[in-house]
Amino acid sequence: MEQQKKILCVGLVCLDIINVVNKYPEEDTDSRCLSQRWQRGGNASNSCTVLSLLGAPCAFMGSLSAGPVAKNLPDVTAEDFSKVDLHQFKWIHWEGRNAEEQVKMIQQVEQYNSMLPQQQKITISVEIEKTRKPLYQLFPHGDVVFVSKDVARDFGFESAEAALKGLYSRVKQGAVLICAWAEKGADALGPDGVIIHSDAFPPESLVDTLGAGDTFNAAVIYTLSKGGSLQDALTFGCRVAGRKCGFHGYDSISKVFDDMQPQSLF
């Protein structure tokens, strides 16, 4: 029996140092730290963590090192990526970073896909989160494109729906464009031209929003990779991200979703 194919996340892994205080500190004031924790971070790394906790076989690709040299690590290059055995994967997600190299990586996948029947092709997704102009060259290279609220505003849009309508011409034919807008939920636009929306699902008590966007992306990818509809994926993404904001870190994700398994959405 062939091994189940995995989801690969390409991007950053880093160390997040989180200080918990009683309230958001005012400028030039001292605040007593209630607690501190160190945890692995980075968009692609976080998304990979959530995918794993949701039960998806997955892998991470990024620059890793121990010690002071870790501060000066180069990003993954197209040459590095050429050593990946693409046969292992059904979906590859790129966190937008060194976009020129990432376009070359995606072209390698497109070349690989060109030799396969449709049902065996690797799905390509990209996240454009930062408002750095070089990242915008990634728009036409994803089957699924995640664009952030900050990027949408950088283009002059003040809502997810307006951003999708204004930016969809930048993606390739047949692609899906997704934009999450914090407490207003998320919208998506596919080739049928219909805007799909999901409300946000805020927790009873807001505890930790760090990585909520990475969690949303992972839950959307998970659902779509399982054959779920775009509406199912958007709703599940908002539900998982909302729940995640109700506790610290990610570990509890595997415990709290017994009542909301995505399979029940299909």
Q: Would you say residue 25 lies in a domain?
A: no
What pTM, to 2 d.p., does this model score? 0.93
Q: Would you say residue 26 lies in a domain?
A: no
Query: DSSP letter string over 153-173?
Result: HHTT--SHHHHHHHHGGGSPT
Q: Would you say residue 30 lies in a domain?
A: no
Total residue count of the chain as it appears in this document: 266
Q: Would you say residue 231 lies in a domain?
A: yes
Confidence of residue 256 (pLDDT cuts 50, 70, 90): low
Q: Would you say residue 29 lies in a domain?
A: no
What pLDDT score does 159 carry? 98
Domain tally, the chain: 1
194-215 confidence digits (pLDDT tens): 999 999 999 999 999 999 999 9
4-31 confidence digits (pLDDT tens): 999 999 999 998 999 988 888 889 999 8
- Contact between 58 and 7 under an 8 Å Cβ cutoff? The reply is yes
Q: Would you say residue 55 lies in a domain?
A: yes
Q: Would you say residue 125 lies in a domain?
A: yes
Q: Would you say residue 206 lies in a domain?
A: yes
Which residues span the domain enclosing 184?
6-20+35-265
3-state DSSP of 6-73: EEEEECCCEEEEEEEECCCCCCCCCCCEEEEEEEEECHHHHHHHHHHHCCCCEEEECCCCCCHHHHHC
Confidence of residue 265 (pLDDT cuts 50, 70, 90): very low
Which CATH number goes with the domain that contains 221? 3.40.1190.20
Confidence of residue 157 (pLDDT cuts 50, 70, 90): very high
